[in-house]
Amino acid sequence: MELHILEHSLKVASIEKEGIQICTHGLIKLAFLASKTRCKFFSLTETPEDYTIIVDEEGFKVELPQSEHISVADATWLALNVVSGGGNASNSQPIGVTKIAKSVIAPLADHNISVFMLSTYQTDYILVRERDLPLVMHSLSSEFTLLRVVNGEAVAAHPLGVANGLVKPKLVPRPIIHPLSSPSNMFCVTSLDPDTLPSVATLLMDVMFYSGGSKEGGATGEDSTHIRFFSFSLIEGYISLVMDDQTAQRLAGFANNVLFTSASGELWKMVRIGGQPLGFDECGIVAQISEPLATADIPAYYISTFKFDHALVPEENIQSVIGALRTSSTAH
């Protein structure tokens, strides 16, 4: 298999709910008027706490204002993408975070490399700090053909110098140490043809920016375990959407047949990781979750945000998932 190191230099930032209005113009441009920008990698995820954005430096510098309501992670990030059978991310079969748990996620955790995950409808992106790239390449070179994307073309990636005295990683158990919760929502992971985006743009804007939610802490009605979660990604021309099934029904009612669906019309349940904000320096969180799921052969999408992590698993597997993760959390 090939591991592509994409050419985008990325920023990860949090926008407070009360500050979203000052950013809305730029975010709408990045999401719905991409041809008017130079941005090629954009993702926006709303959680009950905030909005997390992942955006390349072109989009970040030009489209987003400086504000006390925006917190930026102190690093430039690079996106890695596993591709099976050659080709690029968009036309290859999705790998799934559990499929790369043992070949990518675990070795990076063993080498104490922190990752930030973004699963999309099309593929999975593993974000690593740019400064960690030499060690990333060293960690994965035995398992993958490493290629760097330059001007849209994948070329051989030359090994970068790794500090002398590199110690072989210690392979230690990774019990789950953070609290887990499972909201009551069911979620859809879907996409749409960019040409149809204008037909649903007004509804998507309403869902993303104008539906409220900053005051109710994510709860709707009497169900305190129902959370606000919506993710929109536009990466190299491909759109990915993660939304609860009620929002998907709104979109489907607004514009019939605009959303792609899997053959099974599958719904997903969420496992939310973290009681307190996780930060960016702790290593192994994604591995703690994805390795037990891989062992149990349960597919999963994984979306990291500025404060918490989120795994999406097939609805029918949620009890198996909770059981597998609880077993892992008690293993020492």
Q: What one-character-per-residue DSSP string does 69-115 give?
A: TEEE-SS-EEEEEEESSSS-GGGS----TTTSIIIIIHHHHHTT--E
Topology at the third CATH level for domain 180-210+228-329: VC0802-like (3.30.2130)
pTM for this structure? 0.90
Domain map of the chain by residue range?
A: 2-156, 180-210+228-329
The pLDDT-based confidence of 169 (bands split at 50, 70, 90) is: low
- 2.60.120.340, 3.30.2130.10, 3.40.50.1370, 3.40.50.11390: which CATH number matches 2-156? 3.30.2130.10
For 158, residues 6+ apart whose C-beta sits below 8 A from its C-beta are none
**For residues 304 and 280, what is the distance between their CA atoms, to the nearest angstrom?**
10
Q: Would the pLDDT of 165 be above 90?
A: no
Q: Would the pLDDT of 218 be above 90?
A: no
pLDDT of res. 202: 92
pLDDT of res. 287: 94
Over the stretch 247-291, which tens digit does the pLDDT of each residue have?
Answer: 988 888 777 778 886 545 689 999 999 989 898 988 899 999 999
User: Do 2-156 and 180-210+228-329 fold alike per CATH?
Assistant: yes
The predicted model gives 99-120 an average pLDDT of 94
Over the stretch 289-313, which tens digit does the pLDDT of each residue have?
Answer: 999 999 888 999 999 999 999 999 9
For 61, residues 6+ apart whose C-beta sits below 8 A from its C-beta are none
The predicted model gives 63-69 an average pLDDT of 90
DSSP 39: -
CB 226 within 8 A of CB 246: no
**For residues 329 and 291, what is the distance between their CA atoms, to the nearest angstrom?**
12
